[in-house]
Structure 1
């Protein structure tokens, strides 16, 4: 089957990584696969390497007005006789869905990666879902449950959670003098770094040495630094912008912290689980399905600094619990999020 995947860029986000993994997996399963993007300037090397290894073509759309892009993409899809198009995120869902419909593509799949959509995105997704798409694929059950049967047709909503491309063996860390908390995400409002810093301050006020490693990129970097100064914890914060050694940073840490206001299936939490980190997170998206409260971490109410900080304290003060929770997290990831089951689910979707 000729399959195309359309996404704005192949940058370092979770959607981009899952797009690359799906393209490579479908190619390996015998499909003729190509990836279409708008902007090559933000491409992440690791995602491009996944495509190159699988011999998946990467094509860039011209930088033209949206309606011209729709016309170009429609001709492109017709020229390559694409049978199925997978779109990722709102703009590709809308413009890609329209272009595919004009081109006569038989199977058109929208892709929603969150449990919450702001107004304009929701409008475009609704139009795409009802007028263009064969199905809308959610990466989280919480997203499907929020919209199916209300704004979206239940029978056209499908859930395929994210996968992990590989599994690390369980890790039992050495007891170190400094307890390190780590967060890996974009520096945007959705991730609620002010709550993360306030929660870490609850831990920092206890006896012992503690450090908060913040990894990512985005427009709020300077704001995060200012908040850390205002809270009096700047000396305990280390910010890494797009570092090449994220695996090493995860291995050096003791606890993973996520304070998002909304999520889908969190790639960053899955990566933390892969490195056997106990997780403290907010109860958003599918976090409660990823993290088993009291088994592999703690799931806390949104913006609840006392609860989040208390969970950090509990883990920081008990190495045996950190080890047990971390190994359980690794076990749950292996059980529920393999690449093989991920590709199989998409192949079943194509066949049906």
Structure 2
């Protein structure tokens, strides 16, 4: 199959959706398919893909409607004899999806790692007319879309994210920097979605009562200064550390005592999967995908979003119980190793793409 992934996310942005696309593209290419990942020039996703040996192309999509860009993409898709186009953002569907229809590309799919479709008429028009299906990573998202009444039963396909568990990770020795401290770690874009303000509030609750905890966050984003100010205002800046962006967080995950996800919404939170793969116990908010990935009370604890008191209580419940943390960590590792491997994800994706291509070709 000739497969094109297109992701027009900002040049300096790289999150779970971008990681999924590069992983999917690379593994499908290794299975013998011709795969191209397209995005903005000098973007992180293209640079990362190139480092992984994935063929890349520069396609700039800047707005929801662009007749010239659509015409250029249509010619490009024809030249590359594209069988399947997989789009990331809604504007990718509107511009590149339309181009694929003009070019006669057999299959156009949208990939939704989180809820990207509301009940707005433009979403209905875009997805029902310009795509042949949606790939998502969470049954909760599929069920939400089913409630709209727009799509056939098999239009939305759930393919869980997968991970390649690294075997040679050297854990960060946090004890050198923070002797005698227990490390609570989190990672993600410093955006409202990730709920770090609630983690700061939870940390403030705990640090008023004890001085043996350090909270460390890897990530960057537009709220960085605002969040740092919030930590300073609460007097916890020495115990709530912002580490900046890290392309590989496995060493930090393996070296921490507990991982926390404070997000307000997600699709299937990759970072929780990565923490479980490093045998770390997890406290996570009850967002899309969390209960499908985790086992409540067995691999970690799930709390309501936007509730720092509940977050603090869950952290407190685990941070002093080393045996329980080890048990949760081992159960989490086993769950990922058995059900959320990259091999399983790629096999399911390949099977679905082949089915969709065969289905479309049989109608022609």
TM norm structure 2: 0.88
For the structure 1 residues 170 and 326, does the alpha-carbon distance in structure 2 shift closer, same or farther, using more than 3 Å as the test? farther
Tell me what 1:134 maps to.
132
Alignment partner of 2:297: what SS?
coil
Whether the 8 Å contact between 1:202 and 1:310 is mirrored in structure 2 is no
In the other structure, the counterpart of 2:301 is 298
Residues 147/299 of structure 1: CA separation in 2 closer, same or farther (3 Å cut): same
Cα offset, 1:123, TM superposition? 5.0
CA offsets 1:315-342 (integer angstroms, 9 cap, x no match): 1111111111111111111112111111
Match of 1:29 among 31, 50, 72: 31
CA 1:143–1:15: 2 relative to 1, 3 Å: same
Q: Confirm or deny: 8 A CA contact 1:182 1:253 kept in the other structure.
A: yes
Question: Closer, same or farther in 2 for the Cα pair 1:334/1:8, shift >3 Å?
Answer: same
Asked if residue 280 in structure 1 is aligned to residue 278 in structure 2, the reply is no
In the TM superposition, residue 165 of structure 1 has moved relative to its aligned partner by 2.5
The yes-or-no answer on 1:162 pairing with 2:161 is yes
Distance 2:351 2:30 in 1: 15
Matched, 1:74 2:74: yes
1:164 offset after TM fit, Å? 0.5
In structure 2, stretches of 5+ residues that fail to align are 356-364
- Report whether the alignment pairs 1:16 with 2:15: no
Q: How does 1:166-177 map to 2 (within 5 A)?
A: 166-168=165-167, 177=180
**Aligned-pair CA distance for 1:47:** 3.6
Distance of aligned partners of 1:63 and 1:190 in 2 relative to their CA distance in 1, 3 Å threshold: closer
> Which one is further off, 250-259 or 172-181?
172-181
Q: Runs of 5+ in structure 1 lacking a partner?
A: none
Q: How far apart, CA to CA, are the structure 1 residues paired with 2:304 and 2:323?
A: 25
What value does the CA root-mean-square deviation take over the aligned residues? 2.4
- Give the Å deviation of 1:346: 1.2
Q: Is the 8 A contact 1:298 1:311 kept in 2?
A: yes
Counterpart mapping for 1:1-352 below 5 A: 1-9=1-9, 11-43=13-45, 45-50=47-52, 52=53, 56-62=54-60, 66-115=66-115, 117=117, 123-153=121-151, 154-168=153-167, 177-244=180-247, 246-352=249-355
Deviations 1:129-165 (A, max 9, x none): 2001111111211111111241530331111121113
Q: TM-score, with normalisation over the residues of structure 1?
A: 0.91
Q: 1: distance between equivalents of 2:37 and 2:339?
A: 27
1:218 partner SS: coil
Other structure's SS at 1:335 match: helix
- SS of 1:347's equivalent in the other structure is helix
Count of matched residue pairs: 346
The CA deviation at 1:128 is 2.4
